[in-house]
Each structure stands twice: as C-alpha cells, then as structure tokens.
C-alpha cells in the first residue's frame, strides 16, 4: 500500500494516527508513504512505514509534478495493490494513475467536516476498517531533543506547558500579552513549579524573546533550536499545549498531549484538534468564510481572539485536563 500526503506539516501529521490504525487492521501488509521533502523527517522518525518517499519542488506545483514524475519508476517497482490518495491534487492524482493500483481512494477536500474524519473515510473507502484511532505513535528516538531542553534551562523535574503563538495571520493571533498573563495565572493558581516552553521556526523569535523577558527562567526558549522531529518528541513531554492554529498544534494532539487550540479567523470545522484529550476555543463571531480567505478578522475591532481573556483560557485548560485524567485517550472525533 502507498499513502500520499504532500502539503503542509500539520496536514501531513494529522494523517499519521489514522494510518497507524490502518497498520493495526492489516499488520502484515507493507505500507509506504509519499510526502514532500520539507516534512519527511516526521514520518521517517516514527515506527510506522516500511519506506518513506519524498518529492522536491517546494510549494510550486509544477516543480512538484516534475519531481513526482521522476520518482514514479521507483514507485512502480513496488507494485502497489492499494493507493490511498490523502491529498487529491494534480500531483497526487498523476502519481496514483501512473501506478495503476487495482484499488484506490481519494481524499474529500471540500466537505465541512474535520480533516481527520475525511482521512478516516478515505482509508475506509478503500475497504479497510472500521478504524479505531488512538494517539499511539512511537518514535525511533523518543528522547530526541532532551539535551537541548536541558540546555534551555529545564530542571529535569518541572511540568512543561507549551505556549505556541505561531500563527502567521493577524486574525489568528492571540496577543502575546495574553500568553504572558495566562502563564502568570498558571503559576499563581495551578503550580509555581511549572516551566513554559516555546519552540518552532525562527519567525517566532520576537514573541519568544518577549515571553522570556517576562517569565525569565520559567520560559524555555527553543525557537529555531530544534529539528522538526525533535520538536515532535518534545511536545510529548508537555502536560498541556496552548496553541493557535498551526503545525505544532496538530503535532501535539497527534502524539497524545492535551491540547487547547485557539481559533480566530480560521476553519475550526476543518482543522480543530479533536478526541477525548483536546479542546477548541473558537472565537470567531463574524462571517468565518470571509475571514479565512486572508486570515484577517473582519469583525469590528478588537479582533475576535483579542477578546478572549487569559482567565477564560485558564478555565478551559483546567476543564480539559480534568476530563483527560478521567477518560482514555482517543482521537475519534465522536469519542
């Protein structure tokens, strides 16, 4: 079998627990994965696939297509019986057709349903399932990033809460001052031994430095200092991830970390984390489908997420952790 998912990090990551569930259904089948070079480290770093293939071309579809066509002869040697097209674009369709598998299915790109549900439906449509999906992914190196975590100031014992002000769109950002206030409330009311971690791309450096000045030794600043697979391993250590809509948000709930997502001008009906150990605070009070076109909040100032108070977020976080402690972890949206 070959599964294909080519686009952004978060979109790729959310397919993994469903493919892991497929592996449990057919444990003796060979399962390969095709993705973009930029995000291939995570599927290579988990115990799931027999082979991970990658294409180049960045985000340019024409270059992606050329790279994929050059790879097709190698893929044809695998003689796939089933192709699961979890992307359904021009590139993935070309690959699927050229491989000539006797069975295949395609991702539903447009329904107003959770992306995870649509991944599940794609796999089950090929004749597999029903799938039971749990956050059980294993890494080849579960301790990845440990040395960098200690170098950043982790004392080896404190609980870690991840703060992730990572959205690149103005209408999807919770103010950095609100993250600071949330952290201070957590230290005052929950645990004064907690350390907060920020990690991700160098573009987050300004926000991380602002939090570091405010929280000092309580802030573990790993922005720009980890690989993607190290970040994947590190979020597993956290007791909570508080995140805007981003790739790290998807990584967190995929590995089973309690995840509270903050959604502003974004499609929460498509992208929110789900299951028994996650929650979504969707702040949009306007015409959501207008806002998601450019990621700008079209409501009258202040933007929707600016009106979400740190006190309200702290309460939702405590409720989430209480539920998580009482129920088994399942990614199934209806669990």
Query: 266: domain range?
Result: 146-326
Cβ-contact 252, 241 below 8 angstroms: yes
Last residue of a domain, one of 77, 92, 125: 125
Q: Provide the whole-model pTM.
A: 0.93
pLDDT at 286: 66
How many CB atoms sit inside 10 A of residue 301's CB?
Answer: 6
pLDDT at 335: 44
3-state secondary structure 95-118: HHHHHCCCEEEECCCCCCCCHHHH
Predicted confidence (pLDDT) per residue in 174-209, tens digit: 999 999 999 999 999 999 999 999 999 999 999 999
Closest to 209 in 3D by CA, of 248, 180, 169: 180
Domain match, 298 and 245 both: yes
Confidence band of 168 (pLDDT split at 50, 70, 90)? confident
Element (H, E) at 161: strand 160-164
Cβ-contact 169, 293 below 8 angstroms: no
Structure tokens, 328: 């088994």
Predicted confidence (pLDDT) per residue in 117-145, tens digit: 999 999 999 999 799 999 999 999 999 99
Domain match, 44 and 179 both: no
133 located within any domain: no
Does residue 237 register a pLDDT over 50? yes
Domain match, 244 and 290 both: yes
Q: How far is CA 193 from CA 90, 158, 308, in A?
A: 51, 6, 26
């Amino acid at each position: 079998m070959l599964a294909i998912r080519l686009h952004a990090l978060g979109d790729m990551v959310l397919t993994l627990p469903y493919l892991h569930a497929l592996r449990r259904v057919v444990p003796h089948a060979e399962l390969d994965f095709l993705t973009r070079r930029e995000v291939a480290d995570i599927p290579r770093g988990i115990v799931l696939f027999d082979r991970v293939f990658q294409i180049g071309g960045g985000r340019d579809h024409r270059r992606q297509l050329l790279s994929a066509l050059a790879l097709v002869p190698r893929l044809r040697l695998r003689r796939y019986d089933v192709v699961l097209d979890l992307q359904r674009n021009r590139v993935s369709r070309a690959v699927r057709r050229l491989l000539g598998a006797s069975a295949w299915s395609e991702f539903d790109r447009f329904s107003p349903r959770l992306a995870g549900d649509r991944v599940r439906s794609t796999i089950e449509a090929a004749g597999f399932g029903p799938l039971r999906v749990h956050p059980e992914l294993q890494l080849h190196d579960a301790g990845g990033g440990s040395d960098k975590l200690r170098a950043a100031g982790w004392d080896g014992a404190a609980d870690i809460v991840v703060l992730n002000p990572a959205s690149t769109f103005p209408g999807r950002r919770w103010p950095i001052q609100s993250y600071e206030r949330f952290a201070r409330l957590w230290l005052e009311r929950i645990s004064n031994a907690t350390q907060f971690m920020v990690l991700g791309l160098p573009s987050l450096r300004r926000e991380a430095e602002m939090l570091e000045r405010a929280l000092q030794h309580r802030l573990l600043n790993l922005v720009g200092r980890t690989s993607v697979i190290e970040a994947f391993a590190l979020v597993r250590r956290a007791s909570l991830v508080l995140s805007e809509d981003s790739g790290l948000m998807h990584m967190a709930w995929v590995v089973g970390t309690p995840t509270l997502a903050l959604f502003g001008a974004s499609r929460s009906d498509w992208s929110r984390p789900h299951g028994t150990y996650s929650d979504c605070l969707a702040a949009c009070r306007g015409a959501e489908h207008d806002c998601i076109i450019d990621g700008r909040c079209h409501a009258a100032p202040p933007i929707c997420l600016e009106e979400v108070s740190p006190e309200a977020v702290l309460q939702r976080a405590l409720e989430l952790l209480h539920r998580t402690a009482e129920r088994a972890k399942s990614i199934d949206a209806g669990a």
